[in-house]
Structure 1
Amino acid sequence: MKIILFGPPGSGKGTQANLIMNTYHIPKISVGDILRNIISKKNKFSNIIKKKIDNGILIDDHIIINLIKKEIKNKNCINGFILDGFPRTILQAKEMEKNNIFINYIIELKASKEIIYDRILGRRIHLNSGRIYHIKYNPPKIPEKDDLTQEKLIIRKDDNINTINKRLLEYKKIKNKILQFYQKKIKNKYIKYIKINSQNNIKDIFIKIKKILNK
């Protein structure tokens, strides 16, 4: 079971990827998680990555491709994986197939711009652990404090209107190109392509995903 999980920022890709991973026992390979791990190392390379992310700029293809290939070589990917945030370019998609990495499912989560703004602008992060809160949907017990450590929560630098708008425009371009690349395989049913409204609650969204994957 090899899945690409698509969706704009704030659509819940990370949450649904975790649910799929825990239910079907296949690993999630998240570009965001990999890059955050690199940034935490605080070296010259991590500073370059951080600066690009803070400014809403996509990371170079060759960097992302090498990171993903390394992850897929791990033994825990033998029975499949979930790709969250990859591929983002035609070059990345082509490189996957050159390395005999073929996809079974593309799941696209859809959400309105208003919902996306609401989800992202209300997000709060515990920097050291990566725990995520939301002031409306998942508030901490003490406002602006992590539940476990009581350390101050932060707002990501890219969680602002200008960066969100840039990312939404970029996502639309990326999605159209990638779907065009896979169009023939989707038409011939080598890949099952599913669109799901992610404005519903987390549980209802995952029920729909399970119905598809259990077939």
Structure 2
Amino acid sequence: MRLVLLGPPGAGKGTQAFKLSQILAIPQLSTGDMLRAAVSERTAIGRQAAEIMERGELVPDDLVVGLIADRIARSDAVSGFILDGFPRTVTQAESLDDVLGSHQLNCVLELKVDEQHLLDRILGRAMQARENGEAVRADDNQEALSVRLTAYANQTRPLTHYYAAKGLLKTVDASQPMDRVTAALVEAIA
């Protein structure tokens, strides 16, 4: 099963990708985690990415796509994978299609949540971190969420049209309790 998980910041993509990876016994592939691993392992892509990140620049699509191509070629991804955080743009989705070749995606799952619910979640996450004596994510505030939602609307939301046109998009109400969202995602895949 080859899946992509889409949704705005705070929708629960990481949480649900982790749960689905356990249920389906396939790896959760987070581009951020993969980049950090490639840099620490000093792979060819990791060395290139490290130089770019040290300059404070974004890692270009061709390197990220190369990283994903390398990762999905590993033995643990033969049965499938869940992409969490990629693609973020239609251009990246087209590149992913090229990488996958005849082994195209089975399903694209969109987590849909209204903006007020997202804000409540993110502020709640920040409050819980403070109460637990943990560091609060720098982007867990109303201003950062607004910027992130605008970027999502401009860059990532067009992916829903791209994947809907391919007949791959399934939308789930992610404002429900976590376990209900997981159940709805599993049902959407089936």
Deviations 1:132-187 (A, max 9, x none): xx61xxx79xx333xxxxxxx1112222322211111111223333233334321x
Aligned partners of 2:90 and 2:156 also within 8 Å: no
Structure with the larger helix share: 2
Q: Report 1:137-176 matches (<5 A).
A: 143-145=131-133, 153-176=134-157
- Flag the 1:195–1:13 CA change in 2: closer, same or farther, 3 A: same
Q: State the match for 2:115 in structure 1.
A: 113
CA distance in 1, matches of 2:54, 2:146: 20
> Partner amino acid for 1:161?
Q
Q: Deviations over 1:101-133 (max 9, x none)?
A: 511111111112122122223335xxxxxxxxx
What corresponds to 2:9 in structure 1? 9
Question: Helix, strand or coil: the match of 1:83?
Answer: strand
Q: TM-score under structure 1 normalisation?
A: 0.73
Tell me the equivalent position of 2:178. Answer: 202
CA contact (8 A) 1:39 1:47 kept: no
TM norm structure 2: 0.81
Q: Deviations over 1:2-52 (max 9, x none)?
A: 1111100100011111111001101111123334556889x9927827956
1:122 paired residue among 121, 124, 139: 124
Residues 83-102 of structure 1: per-residue CA shift (max 9 Å, x gap)? 11111122211212222151
Q: Does 1:18 align with 2:13?
A: no
RMSD: 2.8
| Alignment correspondent of 2:187 | 211
Say whether 1:184 aligns with 2:165. Answer: yes
Structure 2 unaligned residues grouped into runs of 5+: 42-46
Q: What is residue 127 of structure 1 aligned with on the other side?
A: none
Residue 45 of structure 1, aligned match among 27, 50, 56: 50
Give the residue type in structure 1 aligned to 2:181. I
Match of 1:60 in 2: 60
Amino acid at match of 2:50: F
* Mapping for residues 81-120 of structure 1, pairs under 5 Å: 81-99=81-99, 100=101, 101-120=103-122
Aligned residue identity for 2:30:
S
Q: Cα gap change, 1:90/1:47 in structure 2, threshold over 3 Å: closer, same or farther?
A: closer
Q: Which runs of 5+ in 1 are unaligned?
A: 53-57, 125-133, 146-152
Give the direction of change, closer, same or farther, for the CA distance of 1:51–1:115 in structure 2 (3 Å limit): farther
One-letter amino acid matched to 2:82: I
2:53 aligned partner, one-letter code? I
Aligned residues: 182
Aligned-pair identity (%)? 31
Spell out structure 1 runs of 4+ moving beyond 4 A: 35-41, 49-52
CA distance in 2, matches of 1:38, 1:50: 17
Distance verdict in 2 for CA 1:156–1:30, change over 3 Å: same
Contact 1:40/1:46 (<8 A) preserved: no
